[in-house]
Structure 1
């Protein structure tokens, strides 16, 4: 038949032509805030989110030898969650938030039972297991609010106090340009609820 095993193909993400200039401007904004507000390294946090797949869909199929475009049926049929991480410039790794598809606790690992011998140590360490309450496992406005309320803001308050500053002294939070992050509802909520946390974005296509 002239077939051979082929990997599925898709267009690669392309960095913008002015990526270097956009990243330079981000550095300038960050440097200005640090200098103007005398912000210590512990009070500057960079967060990212990534897919954590624990049951993969297929990535290969039989296709014509030399084929340039290879669709793979079932490639997206996988089980995964989104993990939101945070690292301070001072080197402190914040607890993780994992976002799970579903509406009820049974959609969480071990059905979200706080006394589960496997789940309990993770929760005791501060890690969050959050339901998306949607049909996907991607971060939403609500899950990001949980992350800020329960992880980021408490960490920054403690970091401020440990460095001899007021609990709500100015801090910097650098995150990627995910559509939820850049959306007006989240930015307005941050401005209203945490005006002391300055939000900066890594330019789109530059992560």
Structure 2
């Protein structure tokens, strides 16, 4: 049939040209605060959040041999949950925090009012 396994095409990611100096400056600031304030390594926490797809999909499909652009249905699906990952300076990985969005009573705790905004 003329089909071969192909990976979907997408934009490439890149680091800034001055990444090394940015990294060194950040680490110098962190070490200065930790040393001046006498913060224990176990209380210095670095965290980040990422979106996790609720419906996982792959980047591979079957496409005709020689095709320049390979589109995959479902790669633009935006349904996600937010996962917060954290690690202490001492190297302890903290349990992940999973954040679900919702607007119904089943999603929100009872008796708690959130601020408008």
Shorter-chain TM-score range: 0.7 to 0.9
Q: After superposition, give the CA deviation of every residue in 1:78-100 in whole Å (9 maximum; x if it has no partner).
A: 75422102121134443432122
Of Structure 1 and Structure 2, the greater helix share is in 1
Q: TM-score, normalised by structure 2?
A: 0.72
Does the Cα contact within 8 Å between 1:56 and 1:77 map onto a contact in 2? Answer: no
Structure 2: distance between partners of 1:62 and 1:75: 15
Residue 34 (str. 1) matches residue 28 (str. 2): no
> Larger Cα Rg: Structure 1 or Structure 2?
2
Aligned to 2:100: 100
Moved over 4 A (4+): none
Corresponding residue SS for 1:36: helix
With CA pairs under 8 Å and 6+ residues apart, which has the higher RCO, 1 or 2? 2
The yes-or-no answer on 1:67 pairing with 2:48 is: no
How far is the alpha carbon of 1:62 from its aligned partner? 3.4
User: Normalising by structure 1, what TM-score?
Assistant: 0.45
Counterparts of 1:31 and 1:58, CA distance in 2: 40
What are structure 1's unaligned runs of at least 5 residues?
113-141, 143-207
Does residue 3 of structure 1 match 2:3? Answer: yes
Q: Which runs of 5+ in 2 are unaligned?
A: 110-114
2:98 partner SS: strand
Q: Which residues of 2 match residues 1-207 of structure 1 at below 5 A?
A: 2-77=2-77, 80-106=80-106
Aligned 8 A contact 1:55 1:78 in 2:
no
